[in-house]
Amino acid sequence: MKVAVVGATGLVGTVMLKVLEERNFPLTELIPVASEKSVGKEITFKGKKFPIVSMDTAISMKPDIALFSAGGNTSLEHAPRFKEAGTTVIDNSSAWRMDPSIKLIVPEVNAHELSIENKIIANPNCSTIQMVVVLKPLHDKYKIKRVVVSTYQSVTGTGVKAVEQMMNERKGIDGPKAYPYEIDLNVIPHIDSFTESGYTKEEIKMIKETNKIMSDDNIKVTATTVRIPVMGGHSESVNIEFENDFDLAEVRSILEKAPGIIVVDDVANLKYPMPKDAHQKDEVFVGRIRRDDSAPKALNLWIVADNLRKGAATNAVQIAEYLIQKELV
């Protein structure tokens, strides 16, 4: 099992390597790929050193699986080349997500859609992933009509430059800026670029990706995505309106039994999910579970997950694990 990690030196790429190691992924050969300036340098994986290779070299080595986290343009250019070499690509960028011919996969929700013909598979947006993991078991039981989500997203979702900006501001150091405003001691209601509708591309991703992953265009979704000065993970306030009424105890029971979810909901003892608790974890954490008394058949939830792990690297690795388990590679 040859596995290439494209973008191996980036923020998500380094987490992909960590997740592969932690989960003891059954690879026999690792092929780290990065930009030309990194070629020849070495990364360490399971105590062994592996040289970083170029894209052309990696393609010529014909890996079974290529985990991509190197940006949309790189994916559009090179994922088809890996596909032609017989490699199955799992891509973490937004490049292929809304292509009708490409599967958009969260294993707990729709891995069953995958077949051996799917040679390019899209990993959804981080904020979408954690939300649909929670929505799916509730939709199966009560049928979702509408979702209103506000996100509180970690600076790690922007990348290393954003983390450095926040830490520099915290220390009073002037340095390169990832955001148009200060992020430390501030909140920026703006993720990705604005569209003519007034929504940002991040908000539109959450809307369209949710419908595609859930295979249900009847679910109405509206989103406001916000960047906050934290590093552990993304948080979301989610309001769900159902077709059918629900029992709160049953909702908790459904979520506790659902794959990939940990319920942390004991307000009497001040127990609820926070980014620092989700940091470096693979599960999605849910709390503040309560009925919305302002609307019939409506529920409020608070959802938290590590955006670099379940929101990116872990989800991609879980897709790869599923492909191996079902002998689709």
In the chain, domain spans: 2-123+312-326, 127-305
Name the active-site residue from 78, 126, 139, 279.
126
Out of 3.20.20.70, 3.40.50.620, 3.30.360.10, 3.90.1150.10, the CATH code matching 127-305 is 3.30.360.10
Binding residues for phosphate: 97
> Which ranges of the chain does DSSP label H, i.e. alpha helix?
11-22, 55-60, 72-84, 107-110, 126-142, 160-171, 201-214, 248-257, 275-278, 314-325
Instruction: Write down the pLDDT at residue 153.
Output: 98
Averaged pLDDT for residues 278-286: 97
Q: What's the token pair of residue 97?
A: 């997500």
Binding residues for substrate: 153, 227
d(CA 104, CA 154): 23
Name the active-site residue from 78, 139, 234, 279.
234
Q: Tell me if residue 190 is catalytic.
A: no
User: Where does 2-123+312-326 sit in CATH, by number?
Assistant: 3.40.50.720
Judge whether 2-123+312-326 and 127-305 match in fold.
Answer: no
d(CA 107, CA 136): 11
Residue 26, number of CB atoms within 10 A of its CB = 11
Residue with tokens 């249900």: 216
Angle between helices 201-214 and 126-142 (to 10 degrees): 40
Averaged pLDDT for residues 136-149: 98
* pTM of structure: 0.96
Instruction: Write down the pLDDT at residue 14.
Output: 95
Binding residues: 9-12, 37-38, 97, 153, 227, 307
Instruction: Write down the pLDDT at residue 26.
Output: 96
One-letter amino acid of 71: G
Q: Name the DSSP letter for residue 102.
A: S
Q: Tell me if residue 126 is catalytic.
A: yes
Averaged pLDDT for residues 27-45: 94
Instruction: Write down the pLDDT at residue 238.
Output: 99
Interval 247-260: pLDDT, tens: 999 999 999 999 99
Instruction: Write down the pLDDT at residue 279.
Output: 97
Instruction: Write down the pLDDT at residue 226.
Output: 98
Interval 289-304: pLDDT, tens: 999 999 999 999 999 9
Instruction: Write down the pLDDT at residue 44.
Output: 95
